[in-house]
Every structure is written in structure tokens, then in C-alpha cells.
Amino acid sequence: MTEPEAAYPHTMRLQRFLARAGVASRRGSENLMTAGRVTVNGQVASELGTKVDVDRDVVAVDGCRVELAAGPVYLMLNKPAGYLTTMSDPQGRPTVAELVPTSTYPGLFPVGRLDFDTTGLLLFTTDGDLGQALLHPSHHVDKTYVAHVDGRVTGKDLEPLCRGIVLDDGPCQPARCRVLKPGQALCVCPQGIPRGTSVVEVTIHEGRKNQVKRMLSAVGHPVLALHRPRFGSLRLGDLAPGAWRLLTAQEVDSLKQR
């Protein structure tokens, strides 16, 4: 457990091992260690410098053995506003790569994109096949957005979107749309819906550039803020803005079955 890292290619810091095994974030794993809840080969390992040999050491949290999952990784990020959906930006602007554990999971990439100012569920994976499949037009999954828009929207205003409108890059498939009440709109209007504005939920199957913003502008209600709480079968739930978590095995299965 204490050999130098260079001598053992499969040696890594314990907090990294725990994060990679999906126990908690790197910081959360450090907290578990300092709380004395982590053992290596039966001995409490509270030193943050502790290293483990992935092939030989037995790591446990609260007495339960923790092992590294083999194979590809899938995680969701609650993207905050102000980040580009790219893994690097030549102009040095903030990117989502800063928010996900790229050193623990090299090869992570985002599946699809959210605009710089859009918040919500962004899926990442190292599984190139699944990523490509989900991005392919024939396999697109439903994506649900909550939009804070200018103006007072009625169900009637949304009818063209439900029928399928034509944008400048071609016709849109029919969307599912509804006007939300203040209690359903907290993700974009936590203080209540300001007078003269509305909040609508829009579910689309395609994934064209700025599609939801363009659709809502086309019916006379420009978007003021946009949030994605659902991507296919995945739900953001109470994941905090800027936080990520690994998908459960069930969530991965349901994505693959989509």
C-alpha cells in the first residue's frame, strides 16, 4: 500500500481509486478517508497521500469492499451556465471539461451539447459506440427542456410547435409542449415567474443547433433561460449545479435499450 507509484503502474492515490470506483467525488472520497471510514487491507487509511495497488490491495468503505469497475464509464453533469460544451477551447474560455473527472476517466466526452448559457443534464461517456449511437439522427432520444420565455404564453401559442413548425434549416418534428405553473418552474425561476414572462416545458426528439430557442422565438416568445432536466430515460433529480455523478447500472441499461 505504500510502494512508490513509479514501481507499480497500477498504483494510484486512494482518493482517486474511490472516486473512480464511483464511491464519491474526489473531495467526497477525501472526506471519507479523513473520517476514518476507509480501510486498505484491513487498516484504516486516513492519510490523503495513501496509495493503493489496484491489483493487490483490498479497499473497503464502512467495511464494504470497493472495486474498480472495468469497462466504459457513463456520468451525468448538471451543467451550469457559462461553460462551453467542448473538452478544450483554443480561446481559453471555461469548458465543461473543467467540471468532470477527466484525469480519473481519460477519454470522457459529452454526448450532444448544451449552449453556453443553457443549464442541466449533460451526459458524458468513454463509450464511443454508445455516444455515436445516441447522436445518430435515427437513434435520437427525447430531450426535455424547461424554458423561461418572454411574454404570456397560452396553450394555443404552443400549438404550432406541437404540430411541427418549419425553421430555416427545415421542418421540426412535432414537439410535446405545456405551460408550467410557478411550482413546476423552480429550475429556471426559483423566486417565482416574473410578470410578463412564462415558463414552458418542451420535449423534442431531434437535436439541432439552438433548436428550442429557435422554436420558441418562432412563436413569438424568445427564451430568457433554458434548462434540461431530462435526457432520454435519465433524470437530473437533485444533482447540484456543477456536480456530476456516475450513472447507475440500471440507467446505463436503459440508455442502451432506448
Size of the site for ligand URA (CB under 6 A): 9
SS3 call for 29: helix
Instruction: Tell me how far, at minimum, the Cβ of 147 lies from ligand URA, in Å.
Output: 8
Nearest residue (CB) to ligand URA, 115 versus 142: 115
Using CB under 6 A, which of the segments 164-172, 180-188, 204-212, 241-249 binds ligand URA? 204-212
Kindly list the distances between the CA atom of residue 152 and the CA atoms of 107, 133, 220, 247, in Å, as whole numbers in the listed order.
Answer: 44, 38, 10, 38
Q: Which of residues 101-140 bind ligand URA (CB under 6 A)?
A: 114-115, 118
Beta strand 109-111 pairing with 11-13: unpaired
Q: Please report, as a single letter, which amino acid is at residue 209.
A: K
Nearest residue (CB) to ligand URA, 22 versus 112: 112
Q: Which of residues 142-161 bind ligand URA (CB under 6 A)?
A: 145
Kindly list the distances between the CA atom of residue 16 and the CA atoms of 26, 33, 188, 216, in Å, as whole numbers in the listed order.
Answer: 6, 11, 34, 44
Nearest residue (CB) to ligand URA, 12 versus 146: 146
- Using CA atoms in the order 97, 103, 106, 108, what is the torsion angle rounded to 10 degrees? -30
Instruction: Tell me how far, at minimum, the Cβ of 249 lies from ligand URA, in Å.
Output: 28
208, 215 Cβ separation under 8 angstroms: no
Instruction: Tell me how far, at minimum, the Cβ of 212 lies from ligand URA, in Å.
Output: 3
Instruction: Tell me how far, at minimum, the Cβ of 61 lies from ligand URA, in Å.
Output: 37
Instruction: Tell me how far, at minimum, the Cβ of 227 lies from ligand URA, in Å.
Output: 9
Q: Which of 132, 137, 113 is nearest to 123 (CA)?
A: 113
CA neighbours closer than 13 Å in the CB half-sphere of residue 160 = 14
Q: Which of residues 210-229 bind ligand URA (CB under 6 A)?
A: 210-213, 226
Q: Which three cell numbers stand for residue 124?
A: 458524458
Nearest residue (CB) to ligand URA, 40 versus 216: 216
Select which of 55, 89, 115, 129 is catalytic: 115
Kindly list the distances between the CA atom of residue 96 and the CA atoms of 2, 56, 99, 161, in Å, as whole numbers in the listed order.
Answer: 34, 34, 5, 30
Give catalytic status of residue 253 as yes or no: no
Instruction: Tell me how far, at minimum, the Cβ of 225 lies from ligand URA, in Å.
Output: 11
Nearest residue (CB) to ligand URA, 22 versus 207: 207
Using CB under 6 A, which of the segments 14-22, 55-63, 91-99, 205-213 binds ligand URA? 205-213
77, 114 Cβ separation under 8 angstroms: no
Nearest residue (CB) to ligand URA, 39 versus 118: 118
State the helix-helix crossing angle for 155-163 and 211-218, rounded to 10 degrees. 120
Residues designated catalytic: 115
For binding to ligand URA (CB under 6 A), which residues are involved? 114-115, 118, 145, 210-213, 226
